Amino acid sequence: MGILAVLAAAGAVVSSGVVVRPVANLYSGPSEATDVVSQAICSAGVGILEQRGEWAKIRTADDYTGWTQRANLRPLGPGEKPYAAAGRVAEVQSLFAHLYGEPGVTRRQPVLTVPFETKLEVAAEPDSGQGRWIQIRLPDERPAWVQRGDVVFSPPPLSIPEMIELAKRFLGLPYTWGGTSSYGYDCSGFAQMLCRRRGIPLPRDAQPQADWEGLRPVEKADLQPGDLLYFGCPAGKITHTGVYLGGGEFINATVHVRPVVQISRLEEEHWTRLFVAARRPK
């Protein structure tokens, strides 16, 4: 099922659009004074539920809703195909990728810097002279260029060891409430991204993740690398998650001690006190 079909199936979609900024915050209401609830990254297809002045209420592909500035979006015209849903598509594999107005890094500043997982429609792939460069069409329809080393094509699902290796590339990135990008993740956004790289469509928030039918309970004594750990306070209320690495260690985006993506130890008193449950994909 395509992105538009998924969004339409969730109901109340008035029209569709694509995110054109590197990261678009989603707010609980049509104002920056309201809470940030999540984010959508550049190239993401969204359903537009409502528009109010300079704001639009949108639904993301993981069924999350929130308000964002309309300037963050390009509405799709009637019958227009979703961006980067077909044809040759490059996906950013670097933590960030500079996109340029011409194939060179020494003459002009980037026109845009996009995060990990951004998808880009390929317009041309020169064979000689400029072979390290790929011409793309941005979500706002401008032409641009990306370096080949920043992207991959049709990446396969990762194995657990590959996912763990990927996870460690994000160490030290800032914890960001509502974050779903390499500009900054929150705990559930980070775990969701790692599972997505394995081909597992994990829900957005920690409690729905732990309750999701695609996961099964695991005893603490039986933990294996790749398992998901859930924490909370008061007991039973899940508010935090991380991914188990093995040897008593797990990786998580947290504000504990340092507000960054970091490796923690399950035996630490802080985490032992908060531990609620462990889950494993079925």
- Are residues 145 and 165 both part of a single domain? no
- Are residues 70 and 102 both part of a single domain? no
Residue 119 banded pLDDT, cuts 50, 70, 90: very high
Residue 83 lies in a domain: no
Best CA proximity match to 147, nearest among 82, 103, 179, 181: 103
pTM strictly above 0.75: yes
Flag whether pLDDT at 12 surpasses 70: no
- Are residues 218 and 120 both part of a single domain? no
Q: What is the average pLDDT across 165-186?
A: 98
- Are residues 136 and 167 both part of a single domain? no
pLDDT on residue 13: 67
Which range marks the domain in which residue 67 is found?
A: 3-75
pLDDT on residue 176: 98
Residue 60 banded pLDDT, cuts 50, 70, 90: very high
pLDDT digits (tens, 9 = 90+) for 239-280: 999 999 999 999 999 999 999 999 999 999 999 999 999 999
- Are residues 97 and 190 both part of a single domain? no
- Are residues 124 and 44 both part of a single domain? no
Best CA proximity match to 71, nearest among 112, 137, 21, 114: 21
- Are residues 147 and 164 both part of a single domain? no
Question: Which helix (H) or strand (E) segment is 263 a member of?
Answer: strand 260-265
Contact at 8 Å (CB) between 215 and 228?
yes
Residue 152, token pair as written in the block: 């991959």
pLDDT digits (tens, 9 = 90+) for 212-221: 999 999 999 9
Give whole-number Cα distances, 73 to 24, 55, 84, 212, in Å: 9, 10, 15, 30
Mean pLDDT of the chain: 94
Flag whether pLDDT at 142 surpasses 90: yes
- Are residues 192 and 262 both part of a single domain? yes
167: domain CATH number is: 3.90.1720.10
- Are residues 181 and 268 both part of a single domain? yes
CA distance 100 to 12: 37
